[in-house]
Amino acid sequence: MGKLWRLLLLILVLASGSNVFANDNKDILEAESVYQQCLEIENAPTTEEIILVRQLLEEYEIGDWEQYDSDKDAEYNDEIHLYFVGKRLSSASARWGTPTGDWAEFTYYYYREDETLAYIINDYRTLCDGELRIISRYLFNASGKQIKVTNEFYDLMTDEPIKGNDDSVSPPQIFLTTEEILRAVKYLWRLL
């Protein structure tokens, strides 16, 4: 009788594990679909692109976020491109860095229609850590749970793949909703 119970328990554990995998796989496919939809939206003629920048001030100080003005002669440290469909933020691409140029981070955020985060691509480049480029992908389910992470490592100068250590990767800034990212760049008036 004990063997039968163990066999039933094993079958139950395997069945529940495959169900979790099926749900994760479904969530991964959904996040990747959102990513593809957002790319199409970014290039649509009806999409409104807003560019915000932070000026590089004296003594390597960085200013507050402001709307980009092409007529203004200034040096910018950070910039973010916000892609709107009507009043809804669909995606954002940000460039962060240091005033000295030791490192730069290009982060791309892709949001569902319900304004929750689905996908991040983070492209980190540094001269400080051995001329390294790390491209990371973060996928999230509709509840905001991170469901997949991948990291690719490249030589910054040759763009050839190299061996890397996943434990050395720092995640990008994560904004789980469009409201969070708009608040971070002080652009909430857009939602009104």
CA–CA separation, 44 and 85 (whole Å): 9
Token duo for residue 127? 């001269």
CA–CA separation, 65 and 24 (whole Å): 37
Q: pLDDT digit of tens for each residue in the chain (192 aa)?
A: 555 555 444 454 444 444 444 567 999 999 999 999 999 999 999 999 999 988 878 877 788 888 888 777 777 778 999 999 999 999 999 998 887 788 899 999 999 999 999 999 999 999 887 889 999 999 999 999 999 999 999 999 999 999 998 988 989 999 999 999 999 888 765 544
Predicted local distance difference test score (pLDDT) of residue 19: 42
Q: Is the torsion defined by CA of 121, 113, 37, 93 positive or negative?
A: negative
Predicted local distance difference test score (pLDDT) of residue 84: 95
- Global pTM? 0.83
**Do the Cβ atoms of 131 and 104 come closer than 8 Å?**
no
Predicted local distance difference test score (pLDDT) of residue 127: 87
